[in-house]
């Protein structure tokens, strides 16, 4: 959908649904909206959705002559307000800046002329929607993203949806995750009978969860801190110096400079543009992005000693669905909504971005840098697992009546082949080879033991994909 069409549709939706438009928006608001997408990839995954930058020019459509058999979607919630922790830091910085008694100069001059801060504490953790967005022209709302995603899903997979009379989707009980799932399902239209199961994020769920990290007592967020602390953060001091040199008496620190990157990202989500983003140079954005990669590599990806075990929970469930006798499955479409770190944990088990070269804090490894957090898990991120069957090509170049089944991944609209298993159609992996690949990835991995989940739960398996008809998965919503 073109940006101008998205903007117009947002305005029409706001008017037809009776959304209050408290201020006439300045014309420069409109002129800035949608002009900063080139920096999304540097903003820690906190900014609006964007396609994975390296798509290898492989079409995400099912290869010619092949037939889709199953699709699994593991998606992140859409564009949101800051979390409570990030929000508290941003509000503290805003309080400092709003009490500065003279005119701002340089990169902070946008704060002059009655600038209005873009969120309040009671909006923290929430999805950005038509009632909460601070600009009716904003094309990056979480609700808009979910609906657009649903339209793209329908375009490619309606054939599978039509084969199932009733379809169940799954989400965590986080308010913003649930709201994303509801908007996605609603946008699919009335032709499909969808049910939404709400899975608790509480650690007592153990492995029967979309957020199994919460039951992992052995997880240590600071595990890679020694490596992370080696990264040169002089660039933050340089930003602070640049600001204070033209704003006499302002106590603007390197921590404040770091916080401004979040200001930039979340204001983009909430208003559709952010003048705060203009205070950074290209090099500063690249350095900030790599620092984010370092943090997540060691807290949630393969640099974390238990994250592969955490990710094995959804990976094992996915493998069971892919290899099950189709007559035993209630549906061919499996859609789940959760958080960014859960997708990253999942991929640590799958291994798509695990090149066996640990990220270092001593320099930026441009040539051996496979893991990019913001590329993998922006707001609205979606990991698709496609299973399709294709006729077998014979030695004479013709095709037999027999077929083989294949698996491949599509992350954020880009096909990501498995490096050593991609000889099938569309760079897919033949199903039995994929099973062997998965078994090799998960050899020696035991979620319950490695995570010491007995401190939280005795549930060692993910079962909700199979028992949702007989168990009650309607957890109350939470702000998390």
What is the dihedral angle through the alpha carbons of 283, 287, 289, 295, rounded to the nearest 10 degrees?
180
Q: Do residues 126 and 176 make contact, with C-beta atoms less than 8 angstroms apart?
A: yes
Find where tokens 């979607």 sit: 73
Task: Identify which of 35, 36, 24, 40 has the alpha carbon closest to the alpha carbon of residue 136.
Answer: 24
Write down the catalytic residue from 44, 77, 275, 342: 77
The answer to whether 360 and 366 have CB atoms below 8 angstroms apart is no
Is 339 noted as a catalytic residue in this protein?
no
CB 82 within 8 A of CB 45: no
Per DSSP (E only), the strands in 52-100 are: 67-76
Active site residue 122: no
What six digits make up the tokens of 24?
Answer: 């006439």
CB 260 within 8 A of CB 82: no
Q: Which residue among the candidates 145, 293, 300, 340 is catalytic per the annotation?
A: 340
Which tokens is 150 given? 């649903």
Q: Calculate the alpha carbon distances from 90 to 24, 121, 287, 427, 475 in Å.
A: 26, 10, 21, 44, 31
For residues 448 and 450, give the distance between their C-alpha atoms in angstroms, rounded to a whole number.
6
Supply angle C-alpha 349, 352, 356, rounded to 5: 80
Is 140 within 8 Å of 268 (Cβ atoms)? Answer: yes
Give all strands (DSSP E) within 323-424, no chain letters: 333-338, 382-393, 399-411, 414-416
Active site residues: 77, 340
């Amino acid at each position: 959908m073109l940006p101008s069409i998205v903007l117009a549709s947002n305005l029409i939706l706001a008017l037809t649904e009776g959304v209050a438009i408290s201020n006439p928006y300045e014309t420069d608001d409109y002129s800035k909206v949608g002009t900063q997408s080139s920096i999304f990839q540097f903003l820690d995954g906190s900014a609006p959705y964007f396609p994975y930058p390296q798509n290898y020019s492989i079409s995400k459509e099912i290869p010619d002559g092949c037939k889709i058999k199953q699709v699994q979607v593991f998606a992140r919630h859409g564009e949101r307000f800051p979390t409570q922790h990030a929000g508290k830091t941003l509000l503290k910085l805003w309080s400092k800046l709003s009490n500065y008694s003279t005119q701002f100069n340089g990169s902070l001059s946008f704060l002059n002329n009655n600038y209005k801060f873009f969120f309040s504490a009671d909006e923290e953790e929430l999805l950005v929607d038509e009632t909460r967005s601070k600009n009716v022209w904003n094309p990056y709302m979480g609700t808009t993203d979910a609906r657009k995603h649903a339209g793209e899903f329908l375009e490619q997979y309606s054939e599978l949806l039509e084969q199932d009379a009733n379809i169940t989707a799954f989400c965590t009980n986080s308010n913003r995750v649930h709201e994303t799932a509801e908007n996605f399902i609603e946008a699919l239209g009335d032709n499909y009978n969808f049910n939404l199961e709400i899975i608790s994020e509480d650690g007592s769920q153990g492995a029967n969860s979309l957020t199994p990290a919460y039951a992992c007592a052995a997880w240590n967020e600071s595990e890679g801190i020694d490596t992370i602390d080696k990264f040169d953060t002089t660039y933050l001091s340089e930003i602070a110096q640049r600001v204070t040199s033209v704003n006499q008496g302002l106590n603007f620190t390197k921590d404040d400079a770091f916080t401004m990157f979040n200001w930039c990202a979340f204001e983009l989500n909430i208003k559709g543009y952010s003048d705060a983003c203009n205070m950074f140079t290209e090099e500063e954005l690249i350095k900030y992005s790599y620092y984010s990669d370092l943090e997540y590599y060691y807290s949630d990806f393969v640099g974390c000693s238990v994250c592969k075990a955490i990710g094995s929970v959804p990976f094992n469930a996915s493998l069971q669905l892919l290899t099950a006798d189709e007559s035993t499955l209630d549906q061919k479409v499996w859609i789940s909504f959760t958080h960014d770190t859960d997708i990253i944990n999942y991929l640590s088990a799958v291994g798509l971005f695990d090149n066996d070269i640990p990220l270092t804090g001593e320099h930026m490894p441009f040539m051996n840098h496979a893991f990019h957090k913001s590329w993998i898990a922006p707001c609205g991120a979606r990991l698709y697992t496609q299973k399709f069957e294709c006729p077998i090509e014979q030695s004479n170049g013709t095709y037999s009546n027999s077929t083989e089944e294949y698996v491949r991944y599509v992350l954020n609209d880009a096909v990501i082949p498995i490096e050593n298993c991609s000889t099938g159609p569309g760079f897919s992996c033949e199903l039995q080879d994929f099973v062997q690949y998965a078994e090799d990835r998960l050899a020696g991995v035991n979620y319950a033991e490695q995570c010491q989940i007995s401190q939280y739960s005795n549930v060692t398996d993910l079962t909700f994909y199979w028992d949702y008809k007989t168990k009650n998965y309607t957890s109350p919503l939470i702000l998390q």
